[in-house]
Amino acid sequence: MPVARALAPVIDLVFPPRCPLCGEAIAAQTGLCGGCWNALAIPGAPACALCGRPFGDGVPDGATCAPCLAEPPRHDGIVASTLYNEASRKLVLALKHGNRIALAPMMARLIAARLPPLGHETLVVPVPLHRWRLWRRGYNQAALLAQEIARTTGATLLVDALERRKQTPSLGGLGRKARRRALSGAIAANARRTARIRGRRVLLVDDVLTSGATSDACVAALKRAGASAVVIACFARVLDEALPAT
C-alpha cells in the first residue's frame, strides 16, 4: 500500500477535507463540493474544428470560427478543461499565487479527461517561466500540471523543452501587436532538447489561456525546433462570449 494512502485516514482526521473554493466539508482531500463542481463552466459542442472555441446553437460541429478564418492558427488544436469564470479563477489564483500546489493534480486530471489518448511518443511540455520569476515563486504552475498530465496519460514529460530567455511585462491590457513585441525573442526551444523535440507531437500545457500570445510564441518555438504538431492544453480558457453557451 502506498504511504500516502496508508496515511490518508490520519491526515483526514487532523485536517478534515474541505472544498478549496467555499470551505464546505467534502469526502476527500482532492476535489470540490458539488456546488463548486457545478459552478465550473465546461466547454462543449458544437465547437471550432481548429481551436475548440464553443459555438452557440445552430452552428454545425466542425465549422471554423471567425478568428481562425481570419488568421489560421499555428497550433494544431486547443483543449481547455474549463472556461474562465469566477470558480476557475479562484482555483487558478490559488495554484498560481496562493501556493496551493496540492490543487495541481485535480486540475490536471480535469485537463487529461478532455484529451484524446496519448502515447509515450507524445511530449508534454509546460509553458516556461523566466528563471527570476521561478526563483521568486518557487515553482512553475504549468510544470506541475504538465507533470501530472504526463503521469496520468503515459505521455513523456519534457519539462525544460522551452526556455524563457527574457522577462516580459504583464500582457494584460496590451493590444495584439504590443503583446507580440513584448514576447519577441523571449521564448525559444532549449538547444539541448531539440533532438528530442524533432518529429514529435507536443502537448503544450498552461494554467490559463488568455489572448494566446504566449502560447503562440511557444508553438512557434517548438515548430522551429521540428515538432510535427503542437496542441495546447489549459485548465481555463478566457472566452467570455462563450460562457452563455456552456
**Cell for 174?**
496590451
User: Which has the closest alpha carbon to 88: 115, 105, 110, 112?
Assistant: 110
Give strand pairing partners of 79. Answer: 233
- Which tens digit of pLDDT belongs to each residue from 135-168? 889 999 999 999 999 999 999 999 999 999 887 7
- Predicted local distance difference test score (pLDDT) of residue 17: 78
Query: In angstroms, rounded to a whole number, what is the distance separating the alpha carbons of residues 207 and 222?
Result: 19
pLDDT exceeds cutoff 70 at 220: yes
Mean pLDDT of 74-92: 96
**What gap in Å lies between CA 197 and CA 226, rounded to an integer?**
6
CATH 3.40.50 fits 41-245, yes or no: yes
Residue 46, CA distances (Å) to 26, 148, 220, 231 in order:
33, 28, 28, 19
Cis peptide leading into residue 46 (ω within 30°): yes
Global pTM reads: 0.89
Query: In the prediction, which pLDDT does 245 show?
Result: 58
pLDDT at 179: 73
What pLDDT is recorded for position 4?
43
pLDDT reported for residue 9: 39
Query: What are the extents of the domains in the chain?
Result: 1-39, 41-245
Helix (H) or strand (E) holding 199: none
For 20-35, write each residue's pLDDT tens digit.
888 888 766 668 898 9
